[in-house]
């Protein structure tokens, strides 16, 4: 199952160091990408909304890899404020990219998911979730940093 580490950086000047360090872990250069909001958006006509199109596509791709709506909003706002995103995709043994991002200052993304749902109890013994299941998908929060690891 592919995993993608995503880190938001306030200082785009760190990007090259982060990318080089992640590539040194064995990631193919094509699987490590950096993204900054373009400085300008080319308008092609009256019904052209290039900034909106860019944002919609970014939001769609972030949701596709498992980011929540709150995370997507935080990433987009970070880019709008002049930050940068780094993406590193690889198999299970490549999750060290999130550690590199955290060491280099990936911002913590706060997620306000609201109150915990009040679900009815089910009778019987409670089983611990199987975290080693090959069907695990979603976001894995990395300790001591802001990089997120998405399994998709």
Q: What is the pLDDT along the chain (152 residues), one digit of tens a residue?
A: 678 999 999 999 999 999 999 999 888 888 999 998 777 667 666 665 777 788 999 999 999 999 999 999 999 999 999 999 999 988 765 578 999 999 999 999 865 444 444 444 545 555 454 444 443 444 555 455 688 888 86
Residue 70 lies in a domain: yes
Q: What is the pTM of this model?
A: 0.72
In a domain, 130, yes or no: no
User: Is residue 118 one of the residues assigned to a domain?
Assistant: no
Pick the closest to residue 152 from 25, 26, 51, 66 (CA basis): 66
How many structural domains compose the chain?
Answer: 1
Rounded Cα distance, 9 and 108, in Å: 10
What pLDDT does residue 118 have? 44
Q: Which residues contact 152 (CB under 8 A, 6 or more apart)?
A: 1, 2, 3, 4, 64, 65, 66, 137
**Domain span at 11:** 3-40+49-111+135-151
126 is a domain residue: no
In a domain, 106, yes or no: yes
* SS3 label, residue 149: strand
Residue 125 lies in a domain: no
Alpha helices in 45-146 (DSSP H): 50-64, 69-80, 96-103
Tally the residues of the chain.
152
Residue 119 lies in a domain: no
Question: What is the rounded CA–CA span in Å between residue 37 and residue 55?
Answer: 9
Is residue 120 included in any domain, yes or no?
A: no
Distance CA 146, CA 103 (A): 10
């Amino acid at each position: 199952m592919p995993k993608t580490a995503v880190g938001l950086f306030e200082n785009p000047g760190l990007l090259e160091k982060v990318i080089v360090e992640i590539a040194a872990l064995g990631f193919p250069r094509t699987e490590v990408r950096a993204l900054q909001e373009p400085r300008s958006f080319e308008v092609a006509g009256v019904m052209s909304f290039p900034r909106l199109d860019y944002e919609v596509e970014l939001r769609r791709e972030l949701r596709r890899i498992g980011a929540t709506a709150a995370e997507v909003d935080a990433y987009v706002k970070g880019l709008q404020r002049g930050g940068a995103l780094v993406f590193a995709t690889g198999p299970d043994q490549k999750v060290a990219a999130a550690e590199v991002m955290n060491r280099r200052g990936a911002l913590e993304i706060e997620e306000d998911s609201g109150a915990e749902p009040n679900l009815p109890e089910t009778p019987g013994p409670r089983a611990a979730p199987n975290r080693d299941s090959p069907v695990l998908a979603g976001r894995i929060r990395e300790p001591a940093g802001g990089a997120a690891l998405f399994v998709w």
